[in-house]
Structure 1
Amino acid sequence: MQRPLRREFLFQLVETSRLLRTYVDQRARQHGTTRAQWGVMTRLYRQEGLNQAALAEQMGLQPISLARLLDRLQGQGLVERRADPADRRAYRLHLTPPGRALVGELDAVRTEIAHEVLGEVPETAILAGLDTLAAIRQRTLAREGAAPHVPAAAGGIA
């Protein structure tokens, strides 16, 4: 029995997402990190000096979960916490030079993964896929009660 088209699409989306996460996890481990740490470092590379609360909110993480990730990254010498001159209770987060270098390596890995996974898929199909994913994201967020506008091309791996 064939599943209805929309159900099949969602099934394939969830399964493909799981496979991609597993593959990205594997590639991250090859560079001595995790997918979660990769995401944190990438965000800090793009927005140096965030405080922990802002970073947790942007990444959709619980503050305690982010604190553990940051502890590990700091222990590896990849991230440092600097006192916030405007708030003695807060810290600003910065990549160290080794952290910045690792993000550069991982950015090249992100490009490799995109080429491996998307191969010969035409740009028009990728753009249509991005539009579809943005619509799904919007509808899902609306069901959760908060639907910010997310541009179709805002995503990325890790």
Structure 2
Amino acid sequence: MSETLGFLLNDTARLFRRAFNARTKGSGVTALQWRLMIYLRRHEGIRQGPLAELIEVEPITLSRMVDRLAEAGLMERRADPTDRRAWLLYLTPHAQQLLNSIAPTTDALVAEATEGLSAAEIDQLTRLVERVRGNLSRRICPKQVGKQEIA
């Protein structure tokens, strides 16, 4: 029996997370925390609410994750100069170093996952999965946070 596309994508993502977590166990960073830091690197200075929407977790879940990353010296909250009730999120230099040090591990994981595929096949697979993601993510997102686009 052939698997459905949704099952294959979900199972592949699960296996990626498992492999990532096994390879980065010593770093103290989980796959979900890595994902959060990658999104934050792309959108530094974002508020917690829009970031929770981007990574699709509940705001309270994100708040706990940010607390843990802040305690580990990987993220910091700064007061929003336009709204004193809000906080803006930034990666610390230590987080930037950690992301850079783990990048070869993620590159090796992708290489292992795409073993036997040609460069053209990898490019095509990437483009097709991006299209599927785009089709599924057609929802209203905050248009701007400060001067940065969020889409």
TM-score normalised by structure 2 residue count:
0.79
Take 1:141 and 1:45, find their aligned partners in 2: how far apart are those partners?
A: 20
Aligned counterparts, 1:53-68, within 5 A: 53-68=49-64
Any conservation in 2 of the 1:56–1:62 contact (CA below 8 Å)? yes
Q: CA deviation at 1:84?
A: 0.8
Structure 1 residues without counterparts, runs of 5 or longer? 149-158
Percent identity at matched positions?
33
After TM superposition, the structure 1 stretch with the greater mean CA deviation from structure 2, 64-73 or 10-19, is 10-19
Change (3 A) 1:103 1:12: same
Q: CA deviation at 1:124?
A: 1.6
Take 1:93 and 1:141, find their aligned partners in 2: how far apart are those partners?
A: 24
Query: Does residue 1:76 correspond to 2:72, yes or no?
Result: yes
TM-score normalised by structure 1 residue count:
0.76
Take 1:15 and 1:35, find their aligned partners in 2: how far apart are those partners?
A: 15
Q: Give secondary structure in 1 for the equivalent of 2:123.
A: helix
Q: State the aligned residue count.
A: 141
Change (3 A) 1:84 1:140: closer
Select 2:14's aligned residue among 18, 24, 41.
18
2:59 partner letter? P
Q: Select the structure of larger CA radius of gyration.
A: 1
Q: CA deviation at 1:85?
A: 0.9
**Which of the pair is proportionally richer in strand?**
2
Query: Does residue 1:90 correspond to 2:86, yes or no?
Result: yes
Structure 2 residues without counterparts, runs of 5 or longer? 142-151
